[in-house]
A = this chain, B = another copy of it.
Amino acid sequence: MDIHALTRELHLKNDSKIVMLVADGLGGLPMTAGGKTELETARTPNLDALAARGVQGGSIPVAPGIAPGSGPGHLGLFGYDPIQYVIGRGALEATGIGFLMQPGDVAARGNFCTLDAAGKISDRRAGRIASEESAPLAVRLRQVKIPGVEVFVEPVKEHRFVVVFRGPGLAGNVKDTDPQVTGAPPLAPHAVDTASAKTAEVAAEFVKQATALLKGEAKANGLTLRGFSGRPALPSYDEVYGLKAAAIAVYPMYKGLASLVGMKIVGQAQTLAEQIDTLEKNWQDFDFFFIHFKYTDSTGEDGNFSAKVKRIEEFDAVIPRVEKLKPTVLIVTGDHSTPSAMRSHSWHPVPTLLVSDVCRPDACQTFGEAECVRGGLGQFKAKYLITLALSNAGRMGKYGA
């Protein structure tokens, strides 16, 4: 179901404030049979008090059994069906390093590779060259000049960089130039449709000049391009929900994802406490606040159960500051689960909490994976969180008479 068809028609404006606190990878698993999850182990008096007042449930990021990446995980939370809206690999790579793509831009992921004397690839990742060595090479590629097209090159990590082409008449439907095997030369960029013909030409010219600039390098004397993609056409928060939205994040990826749906990136917070400072300072200027906390995910990815528990307690500790602002609707959720036991994103439903004066409280007294199973929100697709938020904020009219 396209919920934007409904929200476009039904959304109302008022003075309410919605806060969505996203603890990345919040959901977890017990480490031993019969044990508790990270969230259940953590001492979270503030989240538990919210659970007693509010309603909780399990958010399913995409569909049962589907573990999402950060892109689809956040699109779901923002109310954009993550199956319908796809962010291309190049666009996600650019977004992930904080490059704000404009409509019409085309991004691609670049890999440095090693070419032999015959121009064939001998190492597809240039010996996994260190970031310290590769970053200056990426910067060197900014010397490429293509008439009528702006070229942006940004280092990523090790053998990876990102390139963005900006100019009229570009589209993203171009095949990867990586042959996926060694012993073959990089492929020429091939346009899959006529709208992308110019992009293929521009990419070919980029590869030609870049290869000349890399000549003589021992490891990184060649490159391949993958995941060509335009900026995804996502309708804005303002258009589909009538919300003036702010994103308060530390990591570039989440600022980038928020900017793709038209949120304004506010502040330059480096810690959770600074993020709440930023929330306080901008309270009067926005209707909706997305606050992203990274470390519940990264500790889970590290398989560090006790570190994730500590990060959840750190997250819990700032709740009173948020409550003091008296948001009309306060949501606590995650974009997916990252169980320490799995060291990876997972498909498990994410404990999700909603508090407002008109929510229907359930019997839950604490916030956690077992508790949310008996919560009043039941299990629901993440994309419905925004319709629940809008309704609880009095921002949705009745559907039909």
Residues in A lying within 8 Å of B, measured CB to CB: 1, 3, 5-6, 10, 29-30, 33-34, 37, 53, 58, 62-73, 82-83, 86-87, 89, 92, 339, 341-342, 344-349, 358, 360-363, 369-370, 373-380, 384, 386-392, 396, 398-401
Assess whether B374 is in contact with A346, with CB atoms less than 8 Å apart: no
Distance between A297 CB and nearest chain B CB, rounded to angstroms: 13
Assess whether B373 is in contact with A378, with CB atoms less than 8 Å apart: yes
Among A82, A373, A390, the most chain B Cβ lie within 10 Å of the Cβ of A373
Assess whether A388 is in contact with B358, with CB atoms less than 8 Å apart: no
> Which B residues are CB-close (under 8 A) to A344?
398
> Which B residues are CB-close (under 8 A) to A378?
58, 349, 373, 378-379
**Complex CA distance for A328 and B28, rounded to whole angstroms:** 20
Assess whether A69 is in contact with B400, with CB atoms less than 8 Å apart: yes
Task: Taking A66-B387, A347-B396, A370-B376 as given, write out 10 further A-B residue pairs in contact, using a Cβ cutoff of 8 Å, ordered by the A residue number.
Answer: A1-B83, A29-B360, A33-B53, A64-B380, A65-B388, A66-B399, A69-B399, A349-B376, A362-B370, A373-B378
Assess whether B347 is in contact with A391, with CB atoms less than 8 Å apart: yes
Chain B residue nearest to A401 (CB atoms) is B69
Chain B residue nearest to A339 (CB atoms) is B358
Assess whether A86 is in contact with B400, with CB atoms less than 8 Å apart: yes
**Complex CA distance for A68 and B6, rounded to whole angstroms:** 11
Given contacts A398-B69, A400-B72, A400-B87, contact A361 B63 (CB under 8 A): no
Among A347, A387, A389, the most chain B Cβ lie within 10 Å of the Cβ of A347
> Which B residues are CB-close (under 8 A) to A398?
67-69, 344-345
Assess whether B345 is in contact with A63, with CB atoms less than 8 Å apart: no
Assess whether B373 is in contact with A63, with CB atoms less than 8 Å apart: no
> Which B residues are CB-close (under 8 A) to A10?
66
Chain B residue nearest to A360 (CB atoms) is B348
Chain B residue nearest to A79 (CB atoms) is B65
Q: Which residue of B34, B37, B361, B391 contacts A65 across the interface (Cβ within 8 Å)?
A: B391
Assess whether A373 is in contact with B363, with CB atoms less than 8 Å apart: yes
Chain B residue nearest to A65 (CB atoms) is B387
Distance between A308 CB and nearest chain B CB, rounded to angstroms: 15
Among A1, A53, A360, A361, the most chain B Cβ lie within 10 Å of the Cβ of A360
Assess whether A384 is in contact with B65, with CB atoms less than 8 Å apart: yes
Assess whether A342 is in contact with B358, with CB atoms less than 8 Å apart: yes
Q: Which residue of B63, B386, B391 contacts A67 across the interface (Cβ within 8 Å)?
A: B391
**Complex CA distance for A271 and B391, rounded to whole angstroms:** 34
**Complex CA distance for A63 and B4, rounded to whole angstroms:** 12
Among A6, A29, A348, A399, the most chain B Cβ lie within 10 Å of the Cβ of A399
Pick the 9 closest A-B CB pairs, nearest first: A65-B387, A64-B384, A378-B379, A69-B400, A65-B388, A72-B400, A69-B401, A65-B391, A71-B400
Q: Which residue of B348, B358, B386 contacts A346 across the interface (Cβ within 8 Å)?
A: B358
Assess whether B63 is in contact with A384, with CB atoms less than 8 Å apart: yes
